[in-house]
Amino acid sequence: MRNASRGTLLAEAATVADTSAKRRTGLLKHETLQPGDGLWIVPCEAVHTFGMKFEIDVLYLNKSRKILKIRERMAKRRISACLRAHSVLELPAGMAEATSSQVGDLLEFEKLPS
């Protein structure tokens, strides 16, 4: 996943949560989220961090994968939403700042061979 507007890499390998079961579980079973990892939740317009063990950056995207909202360093036991969003990209805390990602930026996703 790249930020095409900035020419920066957001995640080398992100998991796609595109089923009800995967969306419900999300990152809850993870102990940490390493740089280069991420979770793309499709469809999604709201997330929570109840039961999470670490902070995350949350990028809300429209259908064209343009960033609509960024919630940086979302702590445990929080709720965040963007009702206009089509999907959410969850990244390690600090990744949005490290890649200079901003609202309005366009993201590109490339599917890796299985």
Structural domain range at position 54? 2-108
Q: Please report whether residue 34 resides in a domain.
A: yes
Q: Please report whether residue 30 resides in a domain.
A: yes
20 φ, ψ (degrees, to nearest 5): -60, -45
57 φ, ψ (degrees, to nearest 5): -95, 140
pLDDT of 30 reads: 87
pLDDT of 77 reads: 95
3-state secondary structure of 110: coil
Instruction: Please report, in tens digits, the pLDDT of each residue of the chain (114 residues total).
Output: 999 999 999 999 899 999 998 998 888 888 899 999 999 999 999 999 999 999 999 999 999 999 999 999 999 999 999 999 999 999 999 999 999 999 999 999 987 665
CATH number, domain of 52, equals 2.60.120.1140
Provide the domain count of the chain.
1
Q: Please report whether residue 113 resides in a domain.
A: no
Q: Please report whether residue 58 resides in a domain.
A: yes
Q: Please report whether residue 98 resides in a domain.
A: yes
Check: CB of residue 107 under 8 Å from CB of residue 89.
Answer: yes
pTM, 2 dp: 0.94
Which amino acid makes up residue 53?
K
Instruction: Give the burial string for 33-45 (b: 16+ CB within 10 Å, else e).
Output: beeebbbbbbebe
Measured from the Cβ of residue 47, the count of other Cβ atoms closer than 10 Å reads 24
pLDDT of 114 reads: 59
